[in-house]
Amino acid sequence: MPNSVRWLESTLRRISVGKRMAIAALTLVVPMTALITVSVSVLQHQERELHHTIDEAVNLLVPLATLEYDLQRALTDALSAETGEPVPDYGGLTLSIDRLFSELSSAAPEPDMDADMIAQAQQAWRLARPTIEGIVEQARPLQLSGERPSYGVVRQQLTTAIQDLEQVRMHLASAVKRQAAEASQTQQRQLHLLILAWVATLIAAFLLFSLIVYSIVRPARDLGRAIERLGSGDLSVRVDGGARDELGAVARYLDTMTQRFAIWKSVLEDAAHQDALTRLPNRRAILATLEAALTVAQEQQGVVSVMMIDVDRFKQINDRFGHAAGDRALVWLADTLRGLLRSEDILGRYAGDEFLAVLPGTPHDEALRIAERLCRGASHASRDDPAKPSVTIGVASTGSGAQNAEALLEAADRALFQGKRAGRGQVVPG
Ligand SMILES: Nc1nc2c(ncn2[C@@H]2O[C@H](COP(=O)(O)OP(=O)(O)OP(=O)(O)O)[C@@H](O)[C@H]2O)c(=O)[nH]1
């Protein structure tokens, strides 16, 4: 997992799971709402712009088109010499076009309106205007007098005016077309930006949503696995309880529980293998050690020696100094013997006042020398302190006949018995 994701996850895990779920929901709802609002407002704005462009085109082009149409009609009338109809309001239309151009030049320039094209249209209008004014002046009296005028002149002037007006209309139409094209480009740009914003927001929302879900699912999955391992008896399992959320708390409870289990287990195991008073391996454990040492010796064709160590006249110590003093004497003896043995030798409490030492890879004569050392150490202390007992030791080894645990123990026991009968405080080979 990349470090950045790990960092984001640990940051998120400072927030509770409930709050994270709320954030995940908001992660989807808020951007969607914002995007929908923005999209609707952009589309509404675009619709208004479209109306504005159409209005502008109509306002700009309609007076010109009307005037041009009227002139066309007048020309047709002049050609057919049927001028009985009322004269159109050329003067009003001319003024309206004047007003249009003065508004265009006085108003703040539209950013998307081509100023050159407007200027060209205005210039064309300035050129066309005198002809049209002439027509206005001439058409009115002709119309009012009811005379049959010389239509040749009027026709000529009308044709010129229509051409001039056409020029004006063309320039204005180009300006309007340009404006419409730019408005359409702007709309397209806005739509592209909108789509981009949708995509980016959806990706960001999806990533954040996934991260939040991941920050819940991953620790939950780790917890599940840890509980599964714990259930199968693996007490070494540890889960990360550093996070401040609910899952972090569950992980910490689980860790505490696992540690307590481990302590109870070791207490139970110790109770099963260790003697509570002397802390030495108990009878079962020392016999298992002997079996294991014999198996190794058989495989490697080595030797194993054992010492059966019995406390001398222990009953007297109990009777004389009390049971508690007898316990202390057993603990002292266990520590003393353990201290005099080598690190590879194993000492266990075999029975009430009996100890068994297993000496792997130790031949008989060497075992006897070590036994002498133990016997002397205990005797020396017991001479100075009557509450400290001496010991008698029977030694047996695999090299001297006995090959299995039972035979070895019997041989050592026999030797011990002999030592007791011979006066105690001595080592007897089995
Ligand atoms: N204080 C104490 N005494 C124990 C414990 N286990 C056994 N004993 C005593 O150890 C004594 C063993 O006595 P015996 O088997 O008669 O032998 P002994 O008095 O040592 O005499 P010998 O072995 O013949 O030298 C008994 O009185 C037991 O009550 C123990 O854990 N604590």
Q: Which atom of ligand 1 is nearest to the CA of 324?
A: 1
Mean pLDDT, residues 164-185 taken together:
83
Q: What are the Cα distances from residue 386, in Å, to 316, 354, 377, 393? A: 10, 19, 14, 20
Determine whether the shortest distance from the Cβ of 320 to ligand 1 is under 6 A.
Answer: no
Instruction: Please write the tens of the pLDDT for every residue from 108-140.
Output: 555 556 778 778 888 888 888 887 777 666 655
Evaluate: CB of 326 within 6 angstroms of ligand 1.
Answer: yes
Direct distance between the N- and C-terminal alpha carbons of the chain, in angstroms, rounded to an integer: 67
Distances in Å between the Cα of 71 and the Cα atoms of 36, 60, 67, 271, 320 are 52, 18, 6, 123, 150
Nearest CA owner, ligand 1 atom 3: 326
Q: Is 323 in the pocket of ligand 1 (CB under 6 A)?
A: yes
Report percent pLDDT > 90 for the chain. 37
Q: What is the mean pLDDT of the chain?
A: 85
User: Would you call 396 helix, strand, or coil by DSSP?
Assistant: strand
Ligand 1 atom nearest 312 alpha carbon: 25
Rounded to an integer, the average pLDDT of 45-49 is 88
Query: Cβ(319) to ligand 1 under 6 A?
Result: no
Q: What is the pLDDT of residue 46?
A: 87
24-33, 97-106, 144-153, 307-316: segment of lowest average pLDDT = 144-153
Q: What is the dihedral of CA 268, 271, 276, 279, to 10 degrees?
A: -90
Instruction: Catalogue the E-assigned strands of 60-148.
Output: none
Tell me the percentage of the chain whose pLDDT exceeds 70.
Answer: 89
- 149 pLDDT more than 70: no
Query: How close is the Cα of 273 to the center of ligand 1, in Å?
Result: 22
Res. 153: pLDDT tops 80 = no
CA–centroid distance, 404 to ligand 1, in Å, is: 28
pLDDT tens digits for 307-364? 999 999 999 999 999 999 999 999 999 999 999 999 999 999 999 999 999 999 999 9
ipTM above 0.85, yes or no: yes
Q: Return the CA Rg of the chain.
A: 58
- Write down the pLDDT at residue 295: 92
Q: Is the pLDDT of residue 84 over 60?
A: no
391 lines ligand 1 (CB under 6 A): no
> In this structure, which residue's CA is closest to atom 14 in ligand 1?
315
How much is the pLDDT for 49?
Answer: 86
Q: With 60 as the cut, is the pLDDT of residue 143 above it?
A: no
What is the H or E stretch that residue 42 is in? helix 17-80
Q: Which position has the token pair 């297993």? A: 358
User: Which tokens go with 247?
Assistant: 């899952």
Cα separation of 388 and 314, whole Å? 9
> DSSP of 278-297, one letter per residue?
T-SB-HHHHHHHHHHHHHHH
Average pLDDT over residues 254-270: 81
Nearest CA to ligand 1 atom 4: 352
**């047996």: which residue's tokens?**
396
The full set of domain ranges for the chain reads: 3-211, 283-429
Ligand 1 mean position, distance from CA 383 (Å)? 19
- Give the highest mean pLDDT range of 74-78, 173-177, 230-234, 327-331: 327-331
- Separation of CA 210 and ligand 1 centre (Å): 73
Q: Is 328 in the pocket of ligand 1 (CB under 6 A)?
A: no
pLDDT in tens, 19-43: 888 888 888 888 888 889 999 998 9
Residue 408's H or E segment, with its range, is helix 405-421
Task: Find all residues with CB under 8 Å of 112, minimum gap 6, and list them.
Answer: 178, 179, 182, 183, 186
Class of domain 283-429: alpha beta
Taking the C-alpha atoms of residue 416 and residue 306, their distance in angstroms, rounded to an integer, is 12
Beta strands in 18-117 (DSSP E): none
Q: What is each CA distance from 330 to 172, 345, 391, in whole angstroms?
A: 122, 19, 11
Which ligand 1 atom is nearest residue 319's CA?
A: 27
What confidence score (pLDDT) does residue 381 get? Answer: 92
Q: Is 275 in the pocket of ligand 1 (CB under 6 A)?
A: no
pLDDT at 51: 86
What is the 54 CA–ligand 1 centroid distance (Å)?
A: 120
- Whether pLDDT at 420 is above 70: yes
What the block records as the tokens of 80 is 């057919």
d(CA 330, CA 321): 13
| pTM of structure | 0.52
Nearest CA to ligand 1 atom 31: 352
